[in-house]
Amino acid sequence: MKSSAASKTAAAAEKSTSSAEGFGGFTPYKEKKGEEYMSDAMKDHFRDILRAWKRELMEEVDRTVHHMQDEAANFPDPNDRATQESEFTMELRTRDRERKLIKKIDEALDKLDKDEYGYCESCGVEIGIRRLEARPTATLCIDCKTLDEIREKQMG
C-alpha cells in the first residue's frame, strides 16, 4: 500500500512540474512591468515557438514518408490491402492538414519579421500573449474570432 501511495505522489509531483514548464514544451512568457506589447523579447519568444512547432511538423512528415515506404506491401488478401490503403489515406490526410498549418506558421513568421504579428487583422487590436501562446498562428483577437464563429454558424 505504501509504495502505491508513494508512486501516486511522485506522479502528481511530476505532473505539476511539467505543467509549470508550460504546455507545448515552452515556458509561458513572463511580461516585465511596463513592457511594450510585441517587444523584441516577445517576438523572440514567439519566433522560437513557431520555429519549434514547424520543426516538429517537418519531422512528422519525414516519419510518415519513412513509415509508408517501410510498411508498403502488396498483400494478397484484398482486406489487408484495403486496410493498409485506408491507414495510408488517413496519414496523408493528417499530413495535408499539417502542410496547411506549416504554411500558416510561415505566414506568422513573416508577420513577425514585418512587425505585424500579434495584431488582429480585423480590428487592429492586440491579440494577447496568452491567446498567441495557445494558438501561435491566430490572426484575430478573441472578440473578432467569436463574432466570426457566430456568423459562420448563422450561415451554415
User: 112 and 43 in contact (C-beta within 8 Å)?
Assistant: yes
Cβ neighbourhood burial of 26 (10 Å; 0-12, 13-18, 19+): middle
* All three cell numbers of 151: 456568423
Distance, in Å, from the CA atom of 156 to the CA atom of 117, rounded to the nearest integer, reads: 30
Residue 15 pLDDT: 35
Residue 24 pLDDT: 64
User: 37 and 126 in contact (C-beta within 8 Å)?
Assistant: yes
Tell me the per-residue pLDDT of 35-73, one tens digit each, with 9 for 90 and over. 999 999 999 999 999 999 999 999 988 888 787 777 777
Q: Mean pLDDT in the chain?
A: 84
**Residue 10 belongs to a domain:** no
Whether residues 106 and 126 share a domain: the answer is: no
Stated pTM of the model:
0.74
For 110, the domain range is: 38-115
User: 107 and 138 in contact (C-beta within 8 Å)?
Assistant: no
The separation between CA 104 and the C-alpha centre of its own chain, rounded to angstroms, equals 11
**Residue 77 belongs to a domain:** yes
Whether residues 92 and 47 share a domain: the answer is: yes
Q: Shortest CA distance to 51 belongs to which of 121, 115, 113, 97?
A: 113
CB count in 10 Å sphere of residue 117: 24
Count up the domains in the chain and report the number.
Answer: 2
Whether residues 107 and 142 share a domain: the answer is: no
Residue 18 pLDDT: 32
